[in-house]
């Protein structure tokens, strides 16, 4: 294992002293008696309605509607926030940094098709809208997602992080081959002085072909020393930049799965003891997660490995620190979470889903190793599980409860960051009929993933300002440590132990919209549209 002893600058991208002024902008005023405001917060009342169900013999159900009255508090002051990326010098990290700089500095650039203005297309928080209601003519009205209640704007982020490669960010951007030359040319002066901090490198957890990049690592093999170094890095980054809040996000290489071993990573205490003993099954991503949790910093896992072993989740709960994961849901898997739900909801029975990918970036290079591919295969395969479980007419003991799910990923250097995905959905129709849906999708991988990083950071910061209580309680509480509201952006959504994940993209989006609507004083989205259906 190579190590770096070179003194490196603390990597930062510092906004102007006055910021961009975009954080916290709201354009929606709701006339309601369920919301009150003061100088620091918005207080809203919300009745959560669901139903309790008992399964009875002969396939019958007894349903009892339920409702709970909650009161929410949303702190309206947007803190000065920093994001520290693990994998800052990778394709995603350099593209994310470039995107923020291009937008903050309003850098337009030339392509063969003309001039492109900077934007955040692909980001839900920056480039999508939320339904508000109807106007006086019965037309639907939508507002920008980030202007209903106060949210952080990515232009105001301070950026830093770690990487096992010591290349400064301008060279990392060039190596990634994601952005057009004219944009890179203008960004180079802004990124040349930015260098990642040394990172954690345990060769057993990533492909051997990554060894050549590992020239910027925290020395030694003592994993507790590594935890303490990362904690120190977070504190220094926060102090140097005058930050009120820091979020850490893993966008580095996919690791192999950690073996789950009783007495090693099954409880918080055992996991900490395993780190102090430098146990072989403590991964770099788990080291970063532990350091973040102990610092009270939210930690998001953007890769498919099992970073959040049971002991890590318990540690987050114990320290009431936010965590979220796993694995960015960008192109093929996002489409799968829509199409599988459409088929099952339509009463069509998918019996096989075959997915093939080839890509030529460093992610594909790392995934060419079997153990790292297995981590990705697991996260991709689980995305349709809850759709299958939702329909016992199509999936039961007689017909079978599984879908034949095949996943292939190949490394093809020539295509670079343009990932090619091909999917075939083979389904049963009535009376022995069959239906095949074939999809060919070509996407620029990092330009799909980077907006997800933006959304995960913006929403994590937002959710950290929300607290709630039942109507008769006196104390406000934060959300559970596992931020399952982030599931929209993640292939294998991490959920609170004992609960099942929701993978359907429409359901995940609906939850986000309804939370924001509720905090603003609006009822959940209602698509009945009686205005046009009743006389």
Query: Annotated catalytic residue: which of 163, 419, 423, 445?
Result: 419
Question: What pLDDT band is residue 405 in, cutting at 50, 70 and 90?
Answer: confident
Cα angle 207-202-448, degrees, rounded to a multiple of 5: 55
**pLDDT (average), residues 242-270:** 95
Question: What pLDDT band is residue 9 in, cutting at 50, 70 and 90?
Answer: very low
In whole angstroms, what is the distance from residue 386 CA to residue 503 CA? 6
Dihedral, CA of residue 319, residue 252, residue 369 and residue 416, to nearest 10: 150
Q: Whole-model pTM?
A: 0.90
User: What domains can be seen in the chain, in order of their start residue?
Assistant: 332-444 (3.30.360.10)
Give the pair of three-digit tokens for residue 165.
């490669």
State pLDDT tens for residues 127-145: 999 999 999 988 999 999 9
Instruction: Give the model's pLDDT for residue 16.
Output: 35
Question: What pLDDT band is residue 368 in, cutting at 50, 70 and 90?
Answer: low
Is 398 marked active-site? no
pLDDT above 80 (res 3): no
Give the pair of three-digit tokens for residue 124.
């839900």
Instruction: Give the model's pLDDT for residue 154.
Output: 98
The percent of residues in the chain predicted with pLDDT above 90, rounded, is 70
State pLDDT tens for residues 164-190: 999 999 999 999 999 999 999 999 999
Is 376 marked active-site? yes
State pLDDT tens for residues 316-332: 999 999 999 888 988 77
Is 491 marked active-site? yes
Instruction: Give the model's pLDDT for residue 379.
Output: 59
**pLDDT (average), residues 278-292:** 97
Query: Annotated catalytic residue: which of 326, 376, 386, 455?
Result: 376
In whole angstroms, what is the distance from residue 509 CA to residue 130 CA? 10
- For the chain, the distance separating the N- and C-terminal CA atoms, rounded to the nearest angstrom, is 75
Instruction: Give the model's pLDDT for residue 347.
Output: 94
Is pLDDT larger for residue 266 or for residue 332? 266
pLDDT above 90 (res 473): yes
Phi–psi pair at 166, nearest 5 degrees: -90, 0
Is 73 marked active-site? no
Instruction: Give the model's pLDDT for residue 20.
Output: 53
CB atoms closer than 10 angstroms to residue 356: 16
Query: Annotated catalytic residue: which of 327, 386, 417, 445?
Result: 327
Q: Distances in Å between the alpha carbon of 264 and those of 8, 275, 280, 282, 319?
A: 34, 9, 10, 9, 19
Instruction: Give the model's pLDDT for residue 63.
Output: 97
Q: Closest Cα partner for 248 from 232, 234, 268?
A: 234
Tell me what the pLDDT averaged over the chain comes to: 90
């Amino acid at each position: 294992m190579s190590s770096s002893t070179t003194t490196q600058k603390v990597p930062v991208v510092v906004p102007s002293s006055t910021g961009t002024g975009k954080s916290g902008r709201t354009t929606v005023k709701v006339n309601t008696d369920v919301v009150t405001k003061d100088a620091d917060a918005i207080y809203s009342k919300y009745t959560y309605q669901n139903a309790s169900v008992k399964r009875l013999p002969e396939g019958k159900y007894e349903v009892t509607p339920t409702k709970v009255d909650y009161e929410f508090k949303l702190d309206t002051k947007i803190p000065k926030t920093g994001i520290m990326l693990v994998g800052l010098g990778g394709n995603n990290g350099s593209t994310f940094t470039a995107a923020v700089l291009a937008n903050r500095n309003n850098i337009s650039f030339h392509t063969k098709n003309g001039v492109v203005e900077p934007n955040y297309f692909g980001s839900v928080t920056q480039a999508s809208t939320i339904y508000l209601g109807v106007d006086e003519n019965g037309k639907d009205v939508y507002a920008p997602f980030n202007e209903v209640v106060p949210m952080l704007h990515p232009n105001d982020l301070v950026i830093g992080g770690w990487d096992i490669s010591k290349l400064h960010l301008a060279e990392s951007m060039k190596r990634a081959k994601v952005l057009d030359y004219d944009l890179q040319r203008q960004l180079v002066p802004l990124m040349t002085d930015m260098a990642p901090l040394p990172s954690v490198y345990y060769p057993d957890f990533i492909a051997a072909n990554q060894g050549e990049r590992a020239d910027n690592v925290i020395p030694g093999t003592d994993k507790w020393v590594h935890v303490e170094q990362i904690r120190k890095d977070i504190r220094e980054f926060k102090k140097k930049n005058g930050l009120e809040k820091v979020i850490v996000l893993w966008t580095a290489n996919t690791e192999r799965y950690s073996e789950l071993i009783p007495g090693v990573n099954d409880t918080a205490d055992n996991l900490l003891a395993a780190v102090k003993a430098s146990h072989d099954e403590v991964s770099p991503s788990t080291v970063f997660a532990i350091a973040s949790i102990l610092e009270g910093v939210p930690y998001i896992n953007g890769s498919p490995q099992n970073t959040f072993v049971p002991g890590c989740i318990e540690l987050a709960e114990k320290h009431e620190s936010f965590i979220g994961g796993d694995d960015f849901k960008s192109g093929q898997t996002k489409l799968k979470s829509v199409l599988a739900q459409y088929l099952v909801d339509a009463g069509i029975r998918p019996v096989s889903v075959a997915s093939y990918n080839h890509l030529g970036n460093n992610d594909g290079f790392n995934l060419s190793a079997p153990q790292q591919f297995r981590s990705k295969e697991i996260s991709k395969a689980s995305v349709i599980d809850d759709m299958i479980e939702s329909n016992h007419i199509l999936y039961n003991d007689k017909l079978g409860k599984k879908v034949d799910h095949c996943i292939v990923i190949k490394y093809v250097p020539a295509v670079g960051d343009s990932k090619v995905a091909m999917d075939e959905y083979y389904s049963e129709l009535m009376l022995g009929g069959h239906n095949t849906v074939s999809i060919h999708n070509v996407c620029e991988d990092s330009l799909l993933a980077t907006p997800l990083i933006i959304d995960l950071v913006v929403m994590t910061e937002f959710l950290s300002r929300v607290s709630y209580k039942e109507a008769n309680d006196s104390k406000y509480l934060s959300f559970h440590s596992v931020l399952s509201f982030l599931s929209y952006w993640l292939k294998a959504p991490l959920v609170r132990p004992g609960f099942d994940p929701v993978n359907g993209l429409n359901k995940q989006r609906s939850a986000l919209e309804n939370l924001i609507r509720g905090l603003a004083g609006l009822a959940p989205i209602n698509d009945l549209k009686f205005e046009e259906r009743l006389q």
